[in-house]
Amino acid sequence: MSRMWLQSMTPESIMKAYESRLDSTRYSRLRDAAVSRAEADWIIGMNGSRIASTFLRTGRKDGTSMSLGRVQTATLALIVDKELEILGHKAEPFWELEADFKSDNCEWTGRWERRNNVEDKDNPLTKAHRITDAKEKSMLEKLLTSDEEFTTKQEHRDARENPPLNFDLTSLQREANSLWSWTSRRTLSVAQELYDTHKLTTYPRTDSRYLPEDMIESINHTVTKIGNQSDYKTHCNRLVKNGLTNVKRNFNDGKVSDHYAIIPTGKSPHNKLSQDATKLYDLIVRQFLASFHPVAIWDVQTRITTKSNQDFKKEIRVVKQAGWREVKPKSNKIPDKWGNLPSNPAATILTSHRFKEELTKPTNRLKEAKLLSLMEHAGRSIDDDQMSEAMKGKGLGTPATRAETIEKLIARNFIQRARSGSLRATPGGIKLIELLRAIPVEWITSPELTGDMEARLTSVQNGEFSRAQYMKLIYDKAEEMVQRIKNHDRSILFNSIETIGCCPKCDDNLKETVLSYTCPQNSGKDSGCDFIFWKNTSGRWFDRYTAKRLLEQRELIDLHGFFNRNGEPYVASVKMDDNGKVEFLGGGESTSSTDDAEVCACPSCDEGKIRANSTMYACDVPDCKFRGLAQEMCKRKISEKEAKSILIGGKSALLDDFTSKKGRPFSAYLRLDGNRIKFEFPPRRAAADAKRFTVVEGVVAICPKTKQEIVETPAFFQPAEDGTDCKIQIAREISGREITRDEVKMLIEKGEVGPFDNFISKKTGKNFTSILYLKKNQSVGYKFAKK
C-alpha cells in the first residue's frame, strides 16, 4: 500500500503528490506519534477530569465536573501566572521630565534620561527616564532655570531589519491577532478556507516556516503568476528583475517538517472571496514576497540635547533602503518641524517643560498573539527567529490544536476574553492551578515539563523514542496524578506557606486555605474567632500579596483587578476595620432617608427629594434609579451649592482641585447624564510637536445638539466658547489626512463625510478607506467603506 502527501489542493500539486507517493511503511513513525498523542490526551484528560471532579470540587459553583488536560491545564497555568502577577502589582510613583526645544526652524520634544543608568529588568522604576528621588527632581528643576545654554548634537546609525520568514500556522495566527484582533480559531478557519475551497494557499496546519530546496524553480514560477495580480505586480516584477534573495535562509530541507510553510499557490482569486479571506490572502502573499526581498535599512536619528551633563533625547527612524518594507510598509513619518539642525552641535532654546507624575502599571494581560508564542515555546518568551526554531517541537500542543485549547478554556470558564481581546484567568481557573500546585501535581501545571513531553512525541516521530516507551511515561504520569489528587489532605495544603499576617480581631497568625485566609480560631458558626477573608471577593481574586497589603495598611485606594458580571474591569477602594469587616468604597450610599437634610428635587423621579446622607447627595425614594452624587469626588469636597447647580442646572461650573489616581491636580465640569454624574473635561490642548494649521476666521458649522458655533484653531475644530455642553473637538489632521472646513461642516451637519481613500494606518503605514462619522458622544469614529 502506498500513500500520497498533499501540500496544496491545486490540480498540479495533487498530480505531483500522486506521482510521488511512497510505501505506507515510510510513514509508520508519524502514525505512531499521532496515535500516541491522541491516546495520551485521552488517558490524561479522562482520568484527570474524573479524579478532579470527584476530589477537587470546593462547592456548587464548580459545577458537576472539572476538566484537566495535558495541554489545556499547562496553558491555563500560563494565563494564571500572568493574572497573579498583575493582581499582585503595587503601583509606585515616579516622574518623567519632558522638554520642548527649538533650534533655528527645528522643533521637537525630548525626554530626560539618566547617564550610565543600570536597569534592573525586574524593577521598572530603574529605567533611565524615571525619576523616583525628590532630590534628583529638585536638581533638574534648578538646572532648567539656570543660565547655562542647551546644545544639541544629532547622531545617525543604520539599523538593519531582516525580512520575515514565511508563515507557519502559529505565526500567521499571531500576526492576524496583532493586526485585526482575530481569534486563533478565526484565523485557522479562514486559512483552511483559502486552502480547501479556494485553493489559493498551501496546507495551513504546518509548524514549518521553510521551503524544500527542490522548490526554487517552482517558487520562481509562482512569483511570475502572482505578478498577474495588480496588487502585487510591482513587487513581483522587482523580484523577477533582481532575482530572489535569502535563498539559503528560506529553502532548508532540515527545517521542513511534515509540511512546508504557508505560501500562495499562484492561482488568482475570484470575486467570491469573503472580506476575511481577502485580508488573510493578502497577508500571506505579502509575507511570501517580502521573504525574498533584501533587508530594510533604517536611518536612526537621535537628538541629544545637553545642559550641565544632563541629557534629553529624541529618536526617530527614517527608511534609508526600503528593501522588503516595499511589500509590507511601516509608518515612516518624520515629525513636523523636525527639520535639519543649523549645525552639529547646535545652540538650542528651551521653550517649555513639564514633570509628568505617573504610577507604575502592571504588565498587560495576555492577548492570543502572545499566548500562542508562549505555547509554542513552552512558556518561554522568545522573539528571535533562530531561538524560536531551536524550540520547535518543545511547545504546548501543535499549531492545529492550540486555537481549540484556548476556546475550551473559555467555554469551561477557566479564562475570559475581554472585548479588547485580552485574556484573564477567572477565580475558578486560579483556584484550580493553585490547588494542583499545592497538592502537588506539578507536571500538569508546568509548561516546561509539558513541553518536554511534547518533545518526546517528536522523538517518537523521528524514531529516537519508541511508542511503547512514550506510553509507559504517560501511564506513570496518569497514575501519579490520580493517586496524589485522591490522597491529598486539603486541610494542610497551605500549612508550609508563610502566613500573610495576623488576624485583625485576635492577633493569631492567619491560615490560608483553598478559598480563604482564615483565623485558626474560627471553629464555625458562633464558635471562636469568626474572621474569614474570602479570596474571591466582590469580583476580584485577592492574591497573597494584595491580601497582605490590606492587612498591613487597612485601606487600599483605587485597587485594580475587579471585574463585573459582564467581564468589564473597574477599580474600587477597599477598607478593613479592626474587627476584620471589609468595605468596598467608591459607590457610597445610593439612597437617603427623610431624616437627612433636603437639598433639591430629584432630577430622576417625580416624587423624590435629594438629601445629603453621610456620603452622598441621594434620592429618598428607595426605588429611584438616580445613582447619587458623591459628596467627595477625587479627593475634592462637593459643596451643597455646587450639588444644586449640577442637579438643577445639569452642569457645574469648571471646578478645580480634583486629584487624579496618580496624585495630579486637574479641573473638570460635573454633568448630570441621565441617572448618573459624569466628569466632563475642558477641550484638550494639542501636543507640543503637533502639526499646526493656518486659521481661517469665521464659523465653520453649528453644533446640531447644542447650537454652539464651531470654529477653527491651529490644531482642532471646536466650540468658539469653552465650558459649553458641546463636546465636538475634531483634529485638523486624522490618520495622516488633513480635514478641510467643508468636510468638517458636512460631518457636523450630516453626521458623516466620505469615504476617503488616503488615510494612513499608524500600525501598518498603509493607506485605508473609511467614512468619518460623528458618534453619539460627538467624538469622531471610522466607518469602513464596503468593498
pLDDT score at 720: 83
Q: Which of 230, 210, 229, 208 is nearest to 219 (CA)?
A: 210
For residue 255, is pLDDT > 80? yes
Across 161-175, b (16+ Cβ under 10 Å) vs e yields eebbbbbbbbbbbbb
* Grid cell in block for residue 255: 527545517
**What does the alpha-carbon distance between residue 624 and residue 589 come to, in Å, rounded to a whole number?**
13
3-class state of residue 659 by DSSP: strand
pLDDT score at 18: 82
Q: What is the pLDDT of residues 639-691, one digit of tens each?
A: 999 999 999 988 898 898 888 766 778 888 898 888 888 888 776 655 555 56
Q: Give, in order, the Cα–Cα distances in Å from 289 to each of 220, 326, 402, 643.
A: 11, 10, 27, 64
Strands 150-161 and 296-307 turn out to be antiparallel
Name the pLDDT band for 754 (thresholds 50, 70, 90).
Answer: confident
- Identify the CATH class of 93-162+296-359: mainly beta
CB-CB neighbours of 449 under 10 Å: 15
Q: Which of 405, 377, 395, 460 is nearest to 45 (CA)?
A: 405
**How high does pLDDT run on average in the chain?**
88
For residue 153, is pLDDT > 90? yes
pLDDT score at 691: 67
In what order do the strands lie in the sheet containing 532-534? Answer: 511-512, 516-518, 532-534
**What does the alpha-carbon distance between residue 144 and residue 130 come to, in Å, rounded to a whole number?**
17
CB 425 within 8 A of CB 413: no
Q: Which of 290, 293, 305 is nearest to 243 (CA)?
A: 293
Q: Give, in order, the Cα–Cα distances in Å from 258 to each of 30, 135, 205, 395, 416.
A: 9, 62, 10, 17, 34
Average pLDDT over residues 693-715: 87
For residue 606, is pLDDT > 50? yes
CB 533 within 8 A of CB 499: no
**What does the alpha-carbon distance between residue 523 and residue 503 come to, in Å, rounded to a whole number?**
14
**What does the alpha-carbon distance between residue 600 and residue 610 come to, in Å, rounded to a whole number?**
5
Average pLDDT over residues 80-87: 95
* Assigned fold of 29-89+409-488: Topoisomerase I; domain 2 (1.10.460)
Name the pLDDT band for 572 (thresholds 50, 70, 90).
Answer: confident
Q: Give me the percent of the chain exceeding a pLDDT of 90.
A: 52
Our CA angle for 512, 552, 564, nearest 5°, is 70
* Grid cell in block for residue 654: 469648571
Name the pLDDT band for 587 (thresholds 50, 70, 90).
Answer: very low
- Please return the burial class of 773, using the count of CB atoms within 10 Å of its CB with bins 0-12, 13-18 and 19+: middle
Structure-model confidence comparison of residues 499 and 24, the more confident one: 499
Provide CB contacts within 8 A for 343, sequence distance 6+: none
Name the pLDDT band for 508 (thresholds 50, 70, 90).
Answer: very high
Name the pLDDT band for 169 (thresholds 50, 70, 90).
Answer: very high
DSSP designation for 472: H
Q: Give, in order, the Cα–Cα distances in Å from 127 to each of 118, 120, 308, 663.
A: 8, 8, 21, 21
Name the pLDDT band for 591 (thresholds 50, 70, 90).
Answer: low
Portions of the chain given CATH number 1.10.460.10: 29-89+409-488
pLDDT score at 689: 55
pLDDT score at 757: 86
Q: DSSP per residue over 574-603, as a string?
A: EEE-TT--EEEESS--SB--TTSEEEEE-S
Portions of the chain given CATH number 1.10.290.10: 169-290
Q: What is the pLDDT of residues 337-350, one digit of tens each?
A: 999 999 999 999 99
The torsion angles phi and psi of 346, rounded to 5 degrees, stand at: -130, 145
Provide CB contacts within 8 A for 437, sequence distance 6+: 445
Name the pLDDT band for 387 (thresholds 50, 70, 90).
Answer: very low
Q: Which of 148, 146, 92, 139 is nearest to 112 (CA)?
A: 139
For residue 633, is pLDDT > 60? yes
**What does the alpha-carbon distance between residue 102 and residue 128 come to, in Å, rounded to a whole number?**
24
Provide CB contacts within 8 A for 188, sequence distance 6+: 169, 173, 204, 205, 400, 403
Give the lowest-confidence range in 163-177, 192-206, 292-306, 647-661: 647-661
Q: What pTM was computed for the model?
A: 0.72
pLDDT score at 697: 85
Q: Give, in order, the Cα–Cα distances in Å from 184 to each of 22, 47, 274, 373, 380.
A: 34, 28, 18, 12, 19
For residue 566, is pLDDT > 70? no
Instruction: Please report the beta strands in 308-345, taking only residues with DSSP state E, as ranges in sequence order.
Output: 310-321
* Grid cell in block for residue 221: 514560477
For residue 586, is pLDDT > 70? no
* Grid cell in block for residue 339: 527639520
Contacts by 763-771 with C-beta closer than 8 Å and gap 24+?
A: 763/179, 763/331, 764/179, 764/328, 764/329, 764/330, 764/331, 765/329, 765/330, 765/331, 765/332, 766/329, 768/735, 770/735
pLDDT score at 252: 93
Q: Which amino acid is at 2?
A: S
Average pLDDT over residues 169-180: 95
CB 364 within 8 A of CB 422: yes
Considering 54-58, 184-188, 460-464, 765-769, the range whose residues carry the highest mean pLDDT is 184-188
Portions of the chain given CATH number 2.70.20.10: 93-162+296-359
Which ranges of 465-586 does DSSP label H, i.e. alpha helix?
467-487, 544-553
DSSP designation for 27: G
pLDDT score at 341: 96
Name the pLDDT band for 461 (thresholds 50, 70, 90).
Answer: confident
Q: Give me the percent of the chain exceeding a pLDDT of 70.
A: 92
Average pLDDT over residues 5-18: 75
Q: What is the pLDDT of residues 18-39, one digit of tens each?
A: 887 887 777 788 889 889 989 9
Structure-model confidence comparison of residues 714 and 195, the more confident one: 195
Q: DSSP per residue over 601-640, as a string?
A: E-SS-SS-EEEE-SSEEEESSTT-----EESEETTEE--H
CB 396 within 8 A of CB 74: yes
pLDDT score at 589: 47
CB-CB neighbours of 549 under 10 Å: 20
Q: What is the pLDDT of residues 118-139, one digit of tens each?
A: 999 889 999 999 999 999 999 9
pLDDT score at 20: 79
Structure-model confidence comparison of residues 216 and 563, the more confident one: 216
* Rg of the chain over all Cα atoms, to the nearest angstrom: 31
Please state which CATH number belongs to domain 169-290: 1.10.290.10
Average pLDDT over residues 358-384: 83
